[in-house]
Amino acid sequence: MRIIFMGTPDFSVPCLKALINSEYEVVGVFTQPDKPKGRGYELAPPPVKICAVENKLPVFQPKSMRDGEALEIIKSLNADLIIVVAFGKILPKEILESVKYGCINIHASLLPKLRGAAPIQWSILNGDTETGVTSMQMDIGLDTGDMLLKEKIEIDDEMNAGELFDKLSEIGAKVLIDTVKNVERGTLNPVKQDDSQSTYASILTKELCPIDFNKSAKDVHNHIRGLSPWPVATTKINGKNIKIHKSKILDEKISGVCGEIVDNNNRLVVCCGDGNCIEISELQAEGKKRTDSASYLRGNKIELGTILGD
């Protein structure tokens, strides 16, 4: 089977590698254009391009998928199937219908839950206890196509979005190969999504970062791990912006008002809205490296009773 692969970030790479190492032929790779990166704003290739080039695959980086040029390239490749994994561009109807088996998407949630751009982070932000990967026959909607295969995974209470990202990218590669094998055999049983059960995982912005300590300790903890490693939860300590990378919920209760530092003895314990507390384990001051709270306290005085966020 001749396959075109479309993807851009790190999440897509295990899927591309799985196809490269399979019996199937990857005839072309579509990815987003190189983007400026770093202090020098030099153009940097996306991870999928790096993988494709290393494996001597043809790479295409059209600015648009709608101007006809991409469609002509796809037709010239004479593919049977298009696989899409976090490509980052909407495909028009003519591309969806341009190859024999259409386009199959590997999506990092248990559809119809968490359609959209950031399902991994939102599964943690929402406090979900499980998530997974769904393969889907693409249509013109946003993650609305018929579901093909699913694989579930439990979300550990201490797992952050980066750790879940890595696990789901590997599961995605397995689901992808299983799906392609079933396409070849003609043994898939597509299931329509129940739109009434759908939820949306909007793109992450830095406006989401400030922590609201009026919420429960569990919600605050989920907020911190859901935004780690990017864009990272934030608060203010003595008026200075601080990134909060890691936390844990404490069994012990220490009375205080929302956002109050109630223990500063080699650790930073903060009271939350439900009367429970979290311990800030790792944090980062502006212009400084990430560090544990005990190290931070040795160089920065934080009085008991300090209110975070003020």
Give bridge partners of residue 81 from the DSSP assignment. 3
pLDDT above 70 for 106 = yes
Cβ(145)–Cβ(84) below 8 Å: no
Torsion of CA 159, 161, 166, 171, to 10 degrees: 80
Question: Same CATH topology for 2-201 and 206-299?
Answer: no
Q: What percent of the chain has pLDDT over 70?
A: 100
Q: What is the mean pLDDT of residues 73-89?
A: 97
Q: How much is the pLDDT for 38?
A: 78
Separation between Cα atoms, residue 88 and residue 68, nearest integer Å: 18
Q: Which CATH number fits domain 206-299: 3.10.25.10, 3.30.2130.10, 1.10.3470.10, 3.40.640.10?
A: 3.10.25.10
Q: What is the mean pLDDT of residues 256-279?
A: 96
Domain boundaries, the chain: 2-201, 206-299
> Is-cis flag, bond preceding 119, omega within 30?
no
Separation between Cα atoms, residue 9 and residue 123, nearest integer Å: 19
Residues 6+ apart with CB under 8 A from 54: none
Whether the predicted model's global pTM rises above the 0.85 cut: yes
Long-range contacts of 126-129 (CB under 8 A, 24+ apart): 126/222, 127/218, 127/219, 127/222, 128/155, 129/154, 129/155
Taking all residues of the chain, what is their mean pLDDT, rounded to a whole number?
A: 96
Cβ(28)–Cβ(57) below 8 Å: yes
pLDDT above 70 for 293 = yes
Specify the CATH number of the domain 2-201.
Answer: 3.40.50.170
